[in-house]
Amino acid sequence: MKWLSDYVDVDVTPREFSEAMTMSGSKVEGYEIEGEEISKVVVGKVLSIEKHPDADKLVVCQMEVGQPEPIQIVTGATNLTVGDLVPVCLDGAILPGGKKIKKGKLRGVLSQGMMCSLGELKLTKNDFPYAIEDGIFVLQEDCQIGQDIREAIGLNDTCVEFEITSNRADCLSVLGLAREAAATFQTPLHWNKPEVKSCGGDINDELNVTVENTDLCTRYMAKMVKNVKIGPSPRWMRERLRASGVRPINNLVDITNYVMLEYGQPMHAFDLRFVEDHSIHIRTAREGEVITTLEGAEHRLTPEMLVICDSKKPIGVAGVMGGEYSGIMDDTTTVVFESAMFDGASVRTTAKALGIRTESSARFEKGLDARNCEDAIMRACELVNILGCGEVVDGTIDKAYFDPTPKTVTFEPEWTNQFLGIQLTREEMVKILESLSFKVDGDQIEVPAFRIDIEHKADIAEEIARIYGYNNIPTTVIRGVAEASLTPEQQFEKKTGEILRALGCNEIATYSFISPKYYDKINLPKDSQLRESVTISNPLGEDTSVMRTTAIPSMLEVLSRNYNNRNPQAWMYEIATVYLPKGKDVQPDELNKIVIGLYGGNSDFYTLKGMVELLLDRLNIKDWDIA
């Protein structure tokens, strides 16, 4: 939510935000507040450190924690000095996982709390690179003694989880969701095109790019950054990546991940040292080529796969993952940013064949907007300026092979009102569409480039309806008269059930597939045609391997189960389907049979016979016989 606030001002509770976004079409699965389970953990200052009188490996610390009097904590940590600021658990504190801290004695000395490590706060060294993993978390943040630790270290953001449908790839980004929030809450969207300060030079003098397969790569952009300084990202960037479920690594790698999350455009950064002849070729793989990806695994490529290559070898799998030596290292000095548009179907089949699924491939699979490549790569360069981690070289390599003509849809307000059953004015519709970045000119609507899902006037009507509010659409009586009626067969089946229930039977429903052993259990003759069953080619098990030709075993099984469970009486019936084979590769005959079974309640053969006779009489069936 902190990241979202950069783009849109929404002053509501997380619950209100989630409900409103869901109602406007962006379904919220849930939300959680970072560090919500942490309580009574504050910033404390080490006032003194003394040796424990009865333990060589323990020390006794006096801690200032914002209370009238200091508290005493016994610890075995060796990385503390007087004046350090550390997370302190007070008596009754709760840590992640539900761990409770209470005061007590350690080797006879009172300890009124505990100092925390990174792991005890569910953090890692990636979140705070200056900290150590096997000791107390010594804070280097701008914080106050007694301050809640969640606020002091930024562990208090609200994370909202959305269910993004496959047609809304634009919402796989903070900016995309900010657009939706701005339209939902009718508030302005604060977004400006990235501004980049360059240091001179020209990327075209340093790098050559050739796109050999323009069907699978419709746009490829590159920018260069020199004099790179690799180091940790600033806290605000690390916080946002952590809240989004992405592990911070270093400033350059974090920039590419940050832009992907913010703009929805996957990016990659190449170390120019490992690009042979400073030449990049986008082509399909050659037979027998292999690549070792960033994860360290070797993959054999096939000719259908699109790859990024230098003059000698593949250095990345397009839209999936970079090669082992294409990544950023501690001694990297010159970086090439890649922002491209790859064919979604190609990326999906490649990722599936290689057994690699990444955040990048997931976005390409759903279809992206080639025009977003420019904003994304310029945003990455802007972040380089902001972080001061390099100098952006002038010029941009842009190989574009897509049609930039905006998509248009006819605007028909009257049809939309009739289609939705509402009464909005043209002006009200235009206001809704413009809040969603559509442009209306006369009877034509220019669809924003990132809305690849808009094709028809019905799509426009849906956009108007969801922002207007489905709950605001009036309820109307269905037009016309429903003339549905039961078929003679359905009427017969309905009457049969009514009669049998009136006679005291309960209806059951059993599976149509059974075990062939059931025929032996009912003493079915070995030469009976009913033993010739349809066999299921992929059964769940032997007990469900054939389609029944008689429903008697199914009825007996239900009666047996009731008797074993000490049910004193069970009168059952089923209108069961049986399957009589007609030959190989021919669909079997499917017949409905009435099966009645009962025990208890002074029932016997004559009870059952009487029920059958009454049933046949009520159904007006003549010329029957009981064998």
Same domain (yes/no): 494, 540: yes
Class of residue 452 by CB neighbours under 10 A (exposed 0-12, middle 13-18, buried 19+) = middle
pTM: 0.74
Domain that holds residue 232: 203-400
Is 364 a domain residue?
yes
Tell me: the pLDDT tens digits for 429-446?
A: 999 999 999 999 999 999
Tell me: the pLDDT tens digits for 152-181?
A: 999 989 999 999 888 888 999 999 999 999
CATH code for position 456: 3.30.56.10
Q: What is the mean pLDDT of residues 350-356?
A: 91
Same domain (yes/no): 221, 272: yes
Q: What is the mean pLDDT of residues 463-478?
A: 87
Same domain (yes/no): 173, 267: no
Tell me: the pLDDT tens digits for 289-311?
A: 999 888 888 899 999 999 999 98
Same domain (yes/no): 69, 105: yes
Tell me: the pLDDT tens digits for 543-575?
A: 889 999 999 999 999 999 999 999 999 999 999
Same domain (yes/no): 374, 227: yes
Determine contact, residues 239/405, Cβ cutoff 8 Å. no
CATH code for position 586: 3.30.930.10
Of 344, 376, 400, the one marking the end of a domain is 400
Same domain (yes/no): 505, 611: yes
Is 193 a domain residue?
no
Is 382 a domain residue?
yes
Same domain (yes/no): 395, 411: no
Q: Is the pLDDT of residue 483 over 80?
A: no
Question: In DSSP terms, which residues pair with 506 in a beta bridge?
Answer: 572
Same domain (yes/no): 277, 396: yes
The domain tally of the chain equals 5
Q: Return the ∠ at Cα 257 (arms to 254 and 258), rounded to 5°.
A: 80
Same domain (yes/no): 394, 253: yes
64 by DSSP, 3-state: which? Answer: strand
Is 189 a domain residue?
no
The H or E element that residue 399 is part of is strand 397-400
Is 191 a domain residue?
no
- Total residues belonging to the chain: 627
Q: Is the pLDDT of residue 576 over 90?
A: yes
Is 13 a domain residue?
yes
Same domain (yes/no): 255, 353: yes
Tell me: the pLDDT tens digits for 218-230?
A: 999 999 999 999 9
Same domain (yes/no): 378, 393: yes
Is 513 a domain residue?
yes
Is 64 a domain residue?
yes
Q: Strands, E, within 378-473: which ranges?
A: 391-392, 397-400, 407-410, 439-441, 444-447
Tell me: the pLDDT tens digits for 391-407?
A: 999 999 999 999 999 99
Nearest to 438 by CA among 413, 417, 471, 464: 464
Determine contact, residues 248/125, Cβ cutoff 8 Å. no
Tokens found for residue 25: 């079409």
Tokens found for residue 352: 């599936």
Q: Is the pLDDT of residue 82 over 90?
A: yes
Determine contact, residues 422/474, Cβ cutoff 8 Å. yes
Query: Could you give the CA distance from residue 356 to residue 31 in angstroms, rounded to a whole number?
Result: 28
Same domain (yes/no): 278, 373: yes
Q: What is the mean pLDDT of residues 109-114?
A: 91
